[in-house]
Structure 1
Amino acid sequence: MRGEHQEEAVPLTGIGMMTSVGFGAYPACAALRAGIVRMVELDASQKAAGHPDWKPPLVGSPMKGLTDGYFGLGRWTRMAVDALRDLMVNARLSGAELEQSGIFLGLPAGTWSSSPERHQQFATRIAQWLQLPGLQSCIRFYPEGHASALKALQEAVAQIHQGRLTRAVIGGVDSLVDQERLASLLTGGRLKTDENPVGLIPGEASAFFLVESPRHARRRKAEVLAWLEAARIAHEPVSPASKQPCNGLGLGQAVSATLTGLADHGAATGLIICDLNGELYRAEEFSKMAPRSLHRLQQSWRLWHPADCIGDTGAASAAISVCVGARALARGYARTDGVLVCASSDEGLRGSMYLRSARKEAVRS
């Protein structure tokens, strides 16, 4: 099925996640499949700084029981470390093997996440909490929002094809329920409230997935959850802050490039997973992209957006979509052999990639 594009496909052999509906990739994917929602009124410690007199309740999807009592860098480290531990268990990856992998981590744009000094502190903490000192030098950060993991994926796959890496861990971590982020979203009129029914519900999550060279995956007899193909990125000049309608050109370019990069042009795609979050901007963008870029699809397709259950998870959202798609293909409930994943960052980055089922190959072998 991969045909002439076989050289572009890499096996996805493990997933790890921490979300408000499941502490672990497998329970989280099961909960998302079942439509379980964990959205609550945010408590006093999570109210938006600078808005002490805000009367209507702010609703969000924090990871109760995991991030309670953690703030700032400590909160982010807790989320990232627990998701990495989950990945190691699910992928049967030892600490020594993780230290020999490239770690590509997506973060939100702006604030401390774009500071090299803070990157160093974050990497140091992750290595310390995992007790893997060699990991610190393996982590590379991509502070570019929702689609950052897809940009990181494109670069990681390129390094695997060049022989510079045998395996890479790609992921994202973000929290939109901390005070600073809430204040910014509230000031910008982007939160869903009684006065703004088309806004987003803030969430938090971390997610990682493992990709390897085909030879390395065979050598260690890794289970292939899905084949990953044609990761592409583009740029959209119209931002949500501009208050202008988005015509979907940037997202359309990324999606079209992914489908063009497939031997079958994605004709059998039956599922699309994206980061729609309740905001009008994203809905307009997707609706204008679809007829322009998805006309080659030869069957009806379904649309999943995990934010329905866990809120907007920012820079973790693309990695979550990849994990959800891979798990759905591996378990068979995707009801298709092809899944398209796409994401849009507020700052303009657009990303797209394709997951193809490995179940048929498993049956033949």
Structure 2
Amino acid sequence: MYIAGGGAVTAAGLNRRQTLAAIRAGFSAYEEYLLAEPMGESQIVSRIPTHWSLRATDWDWLVNMAARAIMDAVASRTADPRTTVLILVLPEQFRNHAAFEEVHPSGFLNAVMLASGGPFHAASRAIDGGAAASIAVLDQLSEMLTHPGVERVLLGGVDSLVNDKDINRLAEAGRLKGSDNAQGLVPGEAAAFVCLQSRPDPKSPGLAAIHGAGFAQEADSVLTERYSQGKALLSALQGALNGTGNGPREPDIVFVVSNGNGERYSGWEANIARSRFYRTRREILPIAYPAMTVGEVGAAGGALALLVAADSFTAGYAPGPVAMCEVASEAGLRAAALVSQVRSS
């Protein structure tokens, strides 16, 4: 399966090209955000600059972000949307996101397709599971691409943690970055999508091959009272490698793209899992963290990691031809995808 372009909107850029350029440059799209409670307090966030009318409600804002990223993904293509399956990852259900307090999430996919100028293929659907869900469904999507009438899959997510409900929840758990917590997360918001095809398209931006994907559920997530031993992430990494067939192996992996958000918990978990998975001696294992630019973007983090990996190959800043994308969801889903550069014939 191949990544053949994509789209995004983040605090660092209003389209894929701007966002990826900002991440390449190490730009930080952080700013202070005034909280409603307690009055006068502020929090560092990564917030998309936009006209107030697009944020009339939290529902409207998520729809607008998703639609903009989808239109960015299809802008340079002449493909018929009716042959494109849209897979949309929503904010994890346990959060009871502010966007879905008054409108049920079951209607969200149709709202996004309408705003994006659909219709898309009838197999299109919205799924739960957070950032890692974008990687966990890759095997299913590979099989879907063999169905008659399906030419491509547009896979991604939309989310915003820049709302009082999520910020208060994270603050109560002591998980926010601040003067009293250097190892905390920065709430962000984004929509990101990758275009997947069964055959490579040399004319497409962000071309890369996906060789395998794995996923597992972590029992000791950040929402529990126990620290993770990295078992689920290790299982996901092994699953991604086991599905490669004659593709790259562990010694071939040169760098990692992670949706790690700066929390102490996620850093410990990833370090434990990597020490057990990467058995070949390396002088250094470079790791790209998009959250250093755009903050924690929730359900959009999986597709964004794939976009960064693909962009690093086509833009020439990857330290090598093979990468592992590691993605974790807040509720415990862990996923990994082995991605490589596509060499011209």
Per the normalisation by structure 2, the TM-score is 0.90
Counterparts of 1:15-164 in structure 2, within 5 Å, are: 15-43=6-34, 47=35, 51-53=37-39, 56-65=41-50, 69-70=54-55, 71-90=57-76, 92-94=77-79, 97-110=80-93, 111=96, 118-132=104-118, 134-135=119-120, 137-161=122-146
Q: Cα gap change, 1:100/1:232 in structure 2, threshold over 3 Å: closer, same or farther?
A: same
Cα offset, 1:114, TM superposition:
8.5
Counterpart-to-counterpart distance in 1, 2:302 and 2:105: 20
Compute the displacement of 1:162 (Å). Answer: 5.9
Residue 42 of structure 2: SS of its match in structure 1?
Answer: coil
Distance 1:312-1:68 versus aligned 2 partners, 3 A rule? farther
Aligned-partner SS, 1:80:
helix
Q: Report SS of the residue matched to 1:38.
A: coil
Mapped contact 1:153–1:170 kept (Cα < 8 A): no
Match of 2:335 in 1: 351
Change (3 A) 1:147 1:297: farther
2:219 equivalent among 237, 242, 247: 237
Match of 2:208 in 1: 226
Structure 2 residue 18 is the aligned partner of structure 1 residue 14 = no
Cα distance, 1:334–1:140 mapped onto 2, change above 3 Å = same
Give the AA of the match of 1:35.
G
1:289 lines up with 2:276 in the alignment? no
Q: Judging changes above 3 Å, is the alpha-carbon distance between structure 1 residues 161 and 291 closer, same or farther for their aligned structure 2 residues?
A: farther
- Once the two structures are overlaid, the 10-residue window that deviates more, 190-199 or 80-89, is 190-199
Query: Is the 1:17–1:208 contact (alpha carbons within 8 Å) kept by the matching residues of 2?
Result: yes
Distance 1:205 1:319 in 2: 11
Aligned partners of 1:123 and 1:314: how far apart in 2?
Answer: 17
**What displacement does 1:66 show?**
6.1
Cα pair 1:67 1:75 within 8 Å, conserved: no
Deviations 1:290-312 (A, max 9, x none): 11111147674200111111110
Return the alpha-carbon distance in structure 2 between the equivalents of residues 189 and 201 of structure 1. 12
Shift of 1:146: 2.3
TM-score by length of 1: 0.85
Contact residue 153 and residue 195 of structure 2 kept, 8 A: yes
| Aligned partner letter, 2:105 | H
Secondary structure (helix, strand or coil) at the match of 2:252 reads: coil
**Alignment check: 8 A CA contact 1:274 1:343 kept:** yes
Q: Find the counterpart in structure 1 of residue 161 from structure 2.
A: 176
CA–CA distance in structure 2, aligned partners of residues 293 and 66 of structure 1: 46
Shift of 1:155: 2.0
CA–CA distance in 2 between the matches of 1:161 and 1:297? Answer: 39
Relative distance call for 1:295 and 1:230 in structure 2 (3 A) is: same
- For each residue in 1:205-254, what CA deviation from the matched residue of structure 2 results, as whole angstroms up to 9, or x when unmatched? 1100111122xx56x96567111120211111101122322110000000
**Alpha-carbon distance change, 161 to 139 in structure 1, aligned in 2, over 3 angstroms:** closer
Deviates more, 1:223-232 or 1:17-26: 223-232
Q: 2:312 aligns with which of 309, 328, 338?
A: 328
| C-alpha distance 82-240 of structure 1, shift in aligned 2 (>3 A) | same
Aligned with 2:159: secondary structure?
Answer: strand
CA distance in 2, matches of 1:221, 1:195: 48
Q: Where does residue 236 of structure 2 map in the other structure?
A: 254
**Is residue 2:323 matched to residue 1:339?**
yes
- Percent of aligned pairs with the same residue? 25
Which amino acid is 1:103 matched to? Answer: L
Aligned residue pair count: 338
CA contact (8 A) 1:275 1:317 kept: yes
Give, as a single letter, the amino acid of the residue that structure 2 aligns with 1:350.
Answer: R
RMSD: 2.4
Residue 350 of structure 1: how far off its partner (Å):
0.7
